[in-house]
Chain A
Amino acid sequence: MSTFASSRETTEGTIYSVTGGDWDQVASEIGSAKEERVVVNMGPQHPSTHGVLRLMLELEGETITEMRCGIGYLHTGIEKNTEFRTWTQGVTFVTRMDYLSPLFNETAYCLGVEKLLGITNDVPERASVIRVMMMEFNRISSHMVALGTGALELGAITPMFFAFREREKVLDVFEKVSGLRMNMAYIRPGGVAQDLPEGTVSHVRELVKDLRKNFKDNANLLIGNSIWIKRTKDVGYLDLAGCITLGVTGPVLRSTGMPWDLRKTQPYCGYENYDFDVITADTCDVYGRFLIRMQELEQSLRIIEQCCDKLDQLDGAPVMVADKKIAWPAQLALGGDGLGNSLDHIRQIMGTSMESLIHHFKIVTEGFRVPAGQVYTPVESPRGELGAHLVSDGGTRPYRVHFRTPSFSNLQSTSAMCEGSLIADVVAAVASIDPVMGDVDR
């Protein structure tokens, strides 16, 4: 073995590090010494680990005997950073955690700030409907990545092309509404940053029809596909008891037959007023989880259609709380160099009203005060329960912001899913959890 691997003497005996080379030779020489343990390091830069996730696998042949995750490669200190910014600026930080479903981070955070402020019931209905519509679009775009990359990692390329094509159309909606395709900071404490631009609802109605048709194409590629079934059925098994004790939520929990969806069980943003079904499976495996995601796309479309009807009725209604001490004074507009304050507003504060200028300056630089206390606000993100634990000391900046992220909790279950299975199944199991490393490491 010394011909291709550097060796080192340690208290545990000789350790060989193999970093490449003639794998046939490596495998045959390992086979000759049966008592040796083989530890394979997978990641952190591996295309099938959904980002910078490192997996340490202890192998017996091709079977995994022990598995551990190494995380933290994407830790950016978002929670710490928010303590040095105003409550409103916090939105731009938390949106960057789970970068595939930024609107859910924003909503959980803003619902928390609103609860601390005691203005939960003052948020205008139109703002809530817009939040719901944007979140459901975000669920679709997130599930499209889960399905597309999940299939890609198992060797199916076409679903990925289809999924990203549809996702692009959803991102176009985000761009139209907020100016940005991701990390929008669109949802703000008290409402949303600005009203929908003209023509959005009719565009969305057309898009829903288009998406519904195209989702069928993608589903047809995978459901019933014999290769797909062989790679996913009975793989990554985790039953209800396992999910509960590990705190696993979202599609993984629902794949055990448990119909737990916070939109139904503990509604927020007015979800109790929408008609939709909670999708479950009873297979406890990767196949069931992907099936759930595929069917949730249709449920999201149903919710979006109902949002469109509500938005038509609420045309012209406010999208931000009336309290000027909380609502940012500016309305944004698209200028030649990108999104910025609307010229009308600038004209007002610079040309006509000194008080408006003072107010604008103070609320942007100083922010608003939030009464002391702590709250926990959960929302159902595409991956499970996303909760914001916010602590205020009565100041204009958060005292502590903690996010209970579904990826972090769910990723713990990989060992339970994978130990005893084959190494190829790890990829399927991790893909079925759909972890976002930004969400795990924050």
Chain B
Amino acid sequence: MSEQKGMFGASGTGDTSGYGGLERSSYSPTSASRPYGSYFDDVADELEKAFPEFSDAIEKVVVDRGELTLHIKRDRLFEVAKTLRDTETLRFEVCLGVSGVHYPSDKDRELHAVYELLSMTHNRRIRLEVSVSESDPHLPSLVEVWAGTNWHEREAYDMFGIIFDGHPALTRILMPDDWQGYPQRKDYPLGGIPVEYIGATVPAPDNRRSYR
């Protein structure tokens, strides 16, 4: 995470804290080493067994606050997800959604997509994290693996501009269709956006976005 000068993100304006001179060093979670503890070793072992290119696909394994996070290369995301769902000993049959996080200072890995997985069979949870750059924000869509990620991926696209390749209809979901920008990115301001509905023109049906 970012090296920060001055607290609370206040810059150029009145510092609310009196701590404007403080600096906070950057944070990046450290890779965990074996044994991970809890059921995490089991999950890692089984995944390694079921997915031979494990070491090539996983960038980092983080164990923090009793939660396991697998950082995965985006090219391998789809295969890993499918393996996690289909392997009997893993069986993460529920994906609870996609949460985007924007780290502007994480060069070439600015946008992170975080997937929370749940295995009802084994009563376990893990988290997948994939990072892409702002200039090439493409990720494979996981709608084929977990149909429930459909709206969640649309939300991550709407708010962060992450493009999920292979999504059946990747359109804005919460913001209006013609909205400019991605509101939950860190460089997007809070408020100050003129909102105008009265007098807005509605495009003809043939000019509107198309559902497939």
Residues on A facing B (Cβ under 8 Å): 8, 10-12, 15, 68, 71-72, 75, 77, 79-81, 83-84, 115-116, 118, 244-248, 258, 260, 265-266, 365-366, 372-376, 378, 385, 387, 389, 391, 393-397, 399-400, 402, 404, 408-409, 411-412, 441-442
Choice from A15, A372, A402 contacting B99 with Cβ under 8 Å: A402
Determine whether the beta carbon of B116 is less than 8 Å from that of A245: no
B163 within 8 A of A: no
Nearest-neighbor residue (CB-CB) of B66 within chain A: A115
Query: B154-185 vs A: 1/0 string, CB under 8 Å?
Result: 01000000000000000011111000000110
- List 6 interface pairs A-B (beta carbons < 8 Å), by A numbering: A10-B205, A72-B174, A247-B94, A391-B101, A408-B155, A412-B150
Residues on B facing A (Cβ under 8 Å): 1-2, 4, 7-9, 16-17, 19, 24, 27, 29, 64-67, 69, 93-97, 99-102, 114, 116, 118, 120, 123, 125, 127, 146-152, 155, 172-176, 183-184, 190, 204-206, 211
List residues of chain A with CB within 8 A of the CB of B97.
Answer: 247, 404, 408-409
Nearest-neighbor residue (CB-CB) of A112 within chain B: B65
Determine whether the beta carbon of B206 is less than 8 Å from that of A372: no
- Number of A-B residue pairs, CB cutoff 8 Å, is 129
Q: How far is the CB of B153 from chain A (nearest CB, A)?
A: 11
Distance A112 CA – B80 CA, assembled complex (angstroms):
27
Determine whether the beta carbon of B27 is less than 8 Å from that of A372: yes
Determine whether the beta carbon of A247 is less than 8 Å from that of B95: yes
Given A71-B174, A373-B65, A395 contacting B7 (CB threshold 8 A)? yes
Known: A391-B101, A408-B97. 8 other contacts (CB 8 A): A72-B173, A247-B96, A373-B29, A374-B69, A378-B96, A395-B4, A399-B1, A412-B150
Distance A258 CA – B200 CA, assembled complex (angstroms):
48
Distance A412 CA – B204 CA, assembled complex (angstroms):
27
Q: Is the interface of A mostly helix, strand, loop or mixed?
A: mixed
Determine whether the beta carbon of A394 is less than 8 Å from that of B24: yes
Q: How far is the CB of A358 from chain B (nearest CB, A)?
A: 11
Q: How far is the CB of B51 from chain A (nearest CB, A)?
A: 21
List residues of chain B with CB within 8 A of the CB of A395.
Answer: 4, 7-8, 24
Given A374-B114, A402-B99, A396 contacting B1 (CB threshold 8 A)? no
List residues of chain B with CB within 8 A of the CB of A393.
Answer: 1-2, 4, 24, 27
List residues of chain A with CB within 8 A of the CB of B118.
Answer: 385
Distance A116 CA – B184 CA, assembled complex (angstroms):
22
List residues of chain B with CB within 8 A of the CB of A394.
Answer: 1, 24, 27
Q: How far is the CB of B26 from chain A (nearest CB, A)?
A: 9
Determine whether the beta carbon of A8 is less than 8 Å from that of B7: no
Determine whether the beta carbon of B123 is less than 8 Å from that of A244: no
Given A12-B206, A80-B183, A115 contacting B24 (CB threshold 8 A)? no
The 10 A-B pairs at the shortest CB distance, nearest first, are namely A247-B148, A372-B27, A402-B99, A10-B206, A72-B174, A75-B174, A246-B148, A11-B206, A245-B147, A389-B99
Distance A394 CA – B65 CA, assembled complex (angstroms):
15
Choice from B9, B17, B101, B127 contacting A376 with Cβ under 8 Å: B127
Determine whether the beta carbon of A375 is less than 8 Å from that of B99: no
Choice from A118, A385, A442 contacting B65 with Cβ under 8 Å: A118
Given A265-B123, A373-B65, A77 contacting B183 (CB threshold 8 A)? yes
Distance A396 CA – B9 CA, assembled complex (angstroms):
10
Nearest-neighbor residue (CB-CB) of B158 within chain A: A72
Given A247-B95, A402-B99, A404-B97, A396 contacting B127 (CB threshold 8 A)? no
Determine whether the beta carbon of B174 is less than 8 Å from that of A80: no
Determine whether the beta carbon of B116 is less than 8 Å from that of A115: no
Distance A372 CA – B149 CA, assembled complex (angstroms):
27
